[in-house]
Structure 1
């Protein structure tokens, strides 16, 4: 009832905690939540994002200490809250092509296009994070159409400094994502709404019949000297050294929604589905669950000189809807297993490093070794093997 009352009615009946506690017990009533100013209680662990519903101007924090030792005492030594700036764009839509008849497991040139609406109150964005089913083999180019007749074909730079005008840089590439940076794309002058198009061309592959790509945009406002960690929850910027790392900022993502952005048939002669989904042709897939098995460099030299000290094993896992154990085993030529690596994996593209050490942490002697990869899944097919050469 209190939440449904008019503000002036609330002011007449609102009590402070002290006034409420001073009331006789028979006059106290059950405390009901104020649904206008307060949302429901939610549990937030260390480092988690807090879901703050819009329209609530206050935030209240309760810390609960739990201990099984009655003699134990706990204190809070540091409590910090990080918040995001206003939404960086009004809206951002995305579409990818080719989107049909893509050969599963084969590297393909994809084009991802974003349409970002930017009003006067938006700060803009300068980072794009794209989630992929396998590691992108190459980021081929970035083009920007600012919507006012200004078209930019950005130039790749690979140094570690600040990204200049007309440039882009690969900031991060992993098995499941890549991140590119470019100069901030902001609103137009004189409070005009801007619809900017960003086109990213990259080499990648899909594994399953249907793949839903996903993407986020960010506004990163720190200099290049800060260390970044890229996650699905945001960009974590760290400062300090290895022993005293501290969080400088967390840049929260704005999700790219799939929609019809461009006519790919007209612009790139590619098929599209007006979305971020890709339908693949899986008729040529092998019967083995593990495919595209590669080892580089081979030979490698794990002697600690930071040159070819590790071998990288890359492979695809197909037709696994839920994670199953995948085993990478290293055998010497006498048949003795020297190293076992076990991972729980579902369909996707993966990489695994081996530093030339056995299960006891000792560097193996130079020579030839057999790398075997297998899985316990049903209908897994034959185990895959490769010869690895260790040299000094």
Structure 2
């Protein structure tokens, strides 16, 4: 597989500045702007779920953005470039007729799609459907079609004398994915060779022209015009080969918006892999061809794809099934299973099929995402100055990103000048697995946890670590002990924050078990204690752990914990200071915990005087976590009278309402 990986590696060496960080080396790869041109970094393989073909590279040098339609451009001329097509779904066509369909959108004046009768042959022209898929949702306001009318092809009298024109915006589809068309125009007495239909600018993807005439006709060309930005477009980068398994740092990009900013989005995602292509290519087996498969795969095949099963003695000779099972177990050899139909992801020599091989196949099979060796696309990253940490699995050698542009308005679009990502090689460890105990806890009660971590470290290659950062649902109560291979070691609590803590210990440079014992509360079912290991000499290089079997002493193989479902939703409602003297402090803080909530729900903080009159209300949305609001003792900008006030926190969920109360005294 020299091809892709080699080419990208050459570009990589030219453009990436490598900086030593401890024993690791860090690099930043920049695409776009004045660095590697966007076109040179685009992926040359088709991702099944991407809206490609509608990215503009030339309009603003160094930038990419969705295509904006030129009002003078015939949109139909690039149908096939965008992945669209032309078809007649209700009558069978000859090869010549299918070729002629291509001619009605490619500008060839010599080719027309015809429905003409002759004295020798009657051709049905009534009810013929001509379907056009533009390949993307585009802003359209004009459609033209006409017969050949040149001096060489003078067929202007064969225009369509009655027709219906239907449109679909690309979103309204049947369960099978077929467009639901809506009638835009019906013309029963057309007298013009050039049909020119204009309508308000709107999103269109599918066009249907229906003949409602029995007279002969032909269509030389269908032209489509419009304006505005395409509503969806996707840029997918090439696969970057980082030379070795790498840890990823931050990703950041520079973006701008055209039109109303709230009506467009720029969505950035990443994925990582252990081989150089995220796709698996299949070939169809030729008639009579037989390939060996595993026993497990054999019994998952459809019966008509199951081939023979062959039995072999210990000496390698093939025997019948009856003879095989009559042999003593120690004299039995292999049993081989074969398939005779369907598709396989390797060639006749058993090598994985590459894109180049796939393109030469006469019997092409499907193309699938490689879910075994590649991660799924990450969740969208937030757009922040300074970037955000890459969340795709690592360490991985191969990296890819995608940028999706979305718009809800024809005049709005996002654009990206450049994008950059950090990586560090070698990693801290080849792999770090972790598990936590206990698995089941009581929500809201401090629990003593043991967090076990075991790395797989290539001695002399990977850097090792002396810090572990553990993410927690609330501020950790205490860190009690750290053990390495069962022995307590000296440790320090380097940092404690409301959602994580970091502990330091003697450096681990081999496959040793590290255990951290701490006390913390859990607020909801399914809380996951993520963690990242790093070396104090290179704090920006952090490697996430993965759930797995770190030690036989803990049988969870997981880093999430469960609580009993049900119970209170509001806990620890506190008001401090109380009494509150306005002027002596800026405000009194009202704080509380929400439990057992996996998605945001509405909450309200109401403050009443002793008569029950509402004097102040705060509201918001939240899921499990700790929240607070501050009150300065004012209502409508004026200080309220001294006295006793009632604080109520209320939360509303699908199952009902819960509320808790506290009193607050104001004194002057």
Structure 2 counterpart of 1:16: none
Shift of 1:325: 0.7
Aligned residue in 1 for 2:263: none
Q: C-alpha separation between the residues in 2 aligned to 1:60 and 1:342?
A: 38
The answer to whether residue 667 in structure 2 is matched with residue 388 in structure 1 is no
Q: Is the 8 A contact 2:443 2:563 kept in 1?
A: yes
In 1, distance between residues paired with 2:393 and 2:560?
Answer: 30
Deviation at 1:386, TM superposition (A): 1.2
Partner-residue secondary structure (3-state), 1:205 = coil
**Alignment match of 1:323 (pick from 591, 600, 615):** 600
Q: Which has the higher strand share?
A: 2
Aligned to 2:31: none
**Which residue is equivalent to 1:350?**
626
1:67-94 CA deviation, whole Å, 9 max, x = no partner? x99xxxx998xx8956243322222221
Match status 1:273 vs 2:556: yes
Contact 1:103/1:281 (8 A) holds in 2: yes
Cα 1:115–1:52 change in 2 (3 A) is: closer
SS in 1 for 2:514: strand
Matched residue pairs, number?
A: 295
Q: Distance in 1 between matches of 2:493 and 2:43?
A: 54
Report if aligned partners of 1:95, 1:114 keep a CA contact under 8 Å in 2: yes
Structure-2 residue corresponding to 1:370: 646
Residue 504 of structure 2 is matched in structure 1 by 182
Which structure has the larger Rg?
Answer: 2
SS at 1:383 equivalent: strand
CA distance in 2, matches of 1:34, 1:75: 22
Tell whether 2:213 aligns with 1:213: no
1:350 and 1:200 mapped to 2: Cα distance? 23
Cα shift readout 1:265-307 (whole Å, capped 9, x = no counterpart): 7xxxxxx52322323344xx54xx53323205351546576x7
Residue 497 of structure 2: aligned partner: 173
- The answer on 1:131 being equivalent to 2:471 is yes
Quickly say closer, same or farther: Cα 1:139–1:372, change in 2 above 3 A: same
- Quote the offset at 1:99 in angstroms: 1.5
Q: Distance in 1 between matches of 2:660 and 2:640?
A: 22
TM-score (norm 2): 0.37
Aligned to 1:103: 442
Distance between the aligned counterparts of 2:471 and 2:547, measured in 1?
Answer: 14
Q: TM-score, normalized by length of structure 1?
A: 0.58
- The answer to which structure, 1 or 2, has the higher relative contact order (CA under 8 A, 6+ apart) is 1
> What is aligned with 1:294?
573
Deviation of 1:352 after TM superposition, in Å, equals 1.1
User: Partners in 2 of 1:291 and 1:5 — Cα distance?
Assistant: 54
Unaligned stretches of 5+ residues in structure 2 = 8-41, 47-236, 241-265, 269-382
Give the distance between the partners of 2:549 and 2:433, measured in 1 at CA. 8
Q: Identify the residue that residue 254 of structure 1 maps to in structure 2.
A: 543
Pairing 1:71-90 to 2, within 5 Å after superposition: 81=420, 83-86=422-425, 87-90=427-430
Who is 2:592 aligned against?
314
Cα deviations by residue, 1:17-50 (Å, 9 ceiling, x for unpaired):
xxxxxxxxxxxxxx98389x9339x964552457
Structure 1 unpaired stretches of 5+: 8-30, 155-166, 188-192, 224-250, 266-271
> 1:301 and 1:219 mapped to 2: Cα distance?
46
Distance 1:115 1:365 in 2: 61
Task: Tell whether the 8 Å contact from 1:118 to 1:195 is kept in structure 2 after alignment.
Answer: no
Whether the 8 Å CA contact 1:302–1:363 is kept in 2: the answer is no
Quote the Cα distance in structure 1 between the aligned partners of 2:545 and 2:518: 17
Whole-angstrom distance in 2 between the partners of 1:2 and 1:89: 27
Asked if structure 2 preserves the Cα contact closer than 8 Å seen for 1:140 and 1:203, the reply is no
Alignment of 1:147-158 (within 5 A): 147=485, 151-154=488-491
Tell me the distance in 2 between the aligned counterparts of 1:140 and 1:2: 50
Aligned with 1:262: secondary structure?
A: coil
Could you tell me how far 1:383 is from its partner in structure 2?
2.3
Contact 1:367/1:391 (8 A) holds in 2? yes
Output the aligned Cα RMSD.
4.7
- CA change 1:60–1:32 in 2 (3 A) is closer
Instruction: Say if 2:5 and 2:239, in contact at 8 Å, map to a contact too.
Output: no
Task: Give distance in 2, aligned partners of 1:110 and 1:124.
Answer: 24
Distance in 2, matches of 1:387 and 1:90, equals 55
Q: In the TM superposition, what are the counterparts of 1:192-203 in structure 2 within 5 Å?
A: 193-203=510-520
Contact 2:443 2:595 in 1 (8 A): no
Change (3 A) 1:206 1:383: closer
Rounded Cα–Cα distance in structure 1 between residues aligned with 2:419 and 2:4 = 34
Distance 1:222 1:362 in 2: 53
Judged with a 3 Å threshold, the aligned counterparts in structure 2 of structure 1 residues 168 and 333 are, in CA distance, closer, same or farther, namely: same
Distance 1:183 1:94, change over 3 A: same
Shift of 1:350: 2.0
Rounded Cα–Cα distance in structure 2 between residues aligned with 1:360 and 1:184: 58
Q: What is residue 239 of structure 2 aligned with on the other side?
A: 39
Hey, what's the Cα distance between the residues in 2 that align with 1:178 and 1:130?
6
**Which position in structure 2 is the counterpart of 1:190?**
none
